[in-house]
Amino acid sequence: MEMPSITPRFTALGEPYCLPVPARPLPAPQLLHLNATLADELGLGPAVTGSPQFLEWMAGNQAWPGYAAHASVYAGHQFGQFVPQLGDGRALLIAELNDLQKQPREIQLKGAGPTPYSRFADGRAVLRSSIREYLGSEAMHGLGIPTTRALALVGSPQPVRRETVETAAVVCRTAPSFVRFGHFEFYYYRGEHARLAPLADWVIDTHFPEFSGREDRYIAWLSEIIGRTARLMAQWQSVGFCHGVMNTDNFSILGLTLDYGPFGFMDAFASGHICNHTDEGGRYAWERQPVIGHWNCVKLLQATLPLLAETPEAALALAQPIADQYPAIYQQAMTKRWADKLGLRDHRDGDTDLIDGYLNLLDRSHADFSRSFRNLANLRTDTDALADGIRDEIIDIAAFDAWAENYRTRLRAEQSVDSERAQRMNAVNPKYVLRNYLAQNAIAAAEAGDMSEIGNLFAVLAQPFDEQPHHAHYAAEPPADARHIEVSCSS
């Protein structure tokens, strides 16, 4: 059985950045689903993934050959309040390797038992939350949004107590790196500023080699991360994705979507939508996500000030222009996203009002976000007649018709061809997203012993922009009894 060679990178930093921690064995593990496409990308062919040892690795029952599992420490601002020590409380880095494209990949288990950073918790994950992360991360990948990815889902009959007694599960997830903003905050707020440079240089040398060795490497690297984060927020907004827990310890130093807890894709559009019922103040509501992204970037810059200059004043003078880049980068990315969703080839005066007008119509009607944008591709510029479905979500029909006429005028101004525009719009407006009720259906089936719905959803969400006529029911709005499914931090 040929295995990819192990290439320790992050663990080569050693203590105190990470500690060797063995996984706790999971009784009677069962491989519930395998991401065979991702396994192939990692060089883990059927001979590997079909072996008994693979299940043991994915459950944390055996160590990956030639590698000792590690957990890392970090801090973070959680709901705006600084927590000086967090860390991989239920996550273990079990392997570091290169994929078939020679790109670095870390392999991590979530739910493999307690670590020194578990804070009196059991280090386990439950089937419910594990299914949500497994499907959610791959749904984001299908949408083309930077994210960690899921390799395998393992279940076990072992009981785990949350609000009720549930069964245990482990998600194996991968990323080029799981380093977070909070890793830098940990050493900054402890006053261990000498620890910042080795970590930052490791990130730069491993993932941003174009900046390695430059005198201005920290400025260049931080500018890149601020830009990536701003563009990521625009991507989230454009598909109605709500993260739910945008703490600095959940923000990736590579600009990836990281940690799928109480996340959700909006059904009925509401600009103030809160997907996490634990977030009573609405700090992480949909409309606030871009602002919070900026706030988190400022916290990262604060934590890396000692890298920029010898005095705080000089460092702040360098950091402020980096932070100030965020709003313009976000606005440019968001304007482009909305224009693409409306099928506009370029941005012209008045387009912002056109975009805001449509969002206001959706907001006032609580219209289904995904379906409303998808259906808009059916509008024609050569007739006032509207195809079926376009107005179905709208309450104020007169206001919509007035907006639609302005939209047609704008399309005619750039000589838009309906068929070409529809094709462009359908390439950016997904027909399928992981709605909460779909995830809940898969969870309920799995808890009853039927894993088929996990596989069905996994396949559909891998091609979210395709029509997939045989799976059209997955694009339906939630039934009345499933419109108010709530998720919390335990999700």
Q: What's the pLDDT tens digit per position in 304-347?
A: 999 999 999 999 999 999 999 999 999 999 999 999 999 999 88
The residue type found at 318 is: L
Number of C-beta neighbours around residue 353 at 10 A: 10
CA dist list (Å): 325 to 214, 227, 297, 321, 339? 21, 8, 11, 6, 22
Q: What's the pLDDT tens digit per position in 73-99?
A: 999 999 999 999 999 999 999 999 999
Crossing angle of helices 312-341 and 351-365, in 10° steps, is: 80
User: Do the beta carbons of residue 454 and residue 443 sit within 8 Å?
Assistant: no
Is the model's pTM score more than 0.75? yes
453 three-class SS = helix
What is the Cα Rg of the chain in Å? 23
**If pLDDT is split at 50, 70 and 90, which confidence band does 483 have?**
low
Mean of the per-residue pLDDT values of the chain: 95
Q: Is 153 a residue whose pLDDT tops 60?
A: yes
Active site residues: 249
170 three-class SS = strand
202 three-class SS = helix
Spatial separation of the C-alpha atoms in residues 141 and 146, rounded to whole Å: 7
Tokens of 69: 């599992």
Closest CA to 85 of 118, 132, 126, 46: 118
Spatial separation of the C-alpha atoms in residues 337 and 340, rounded to whole Å: 5
Q: What's the pLDDT tens digit per position in 227-262?
A: 999 999 999 999 999 999 999 999 999 999 999 999
Q: Supply angle C-alpha 168, 171, 173, rounded to 5.
A: 165
For residues 433-443, give the mean pLDDT.
97
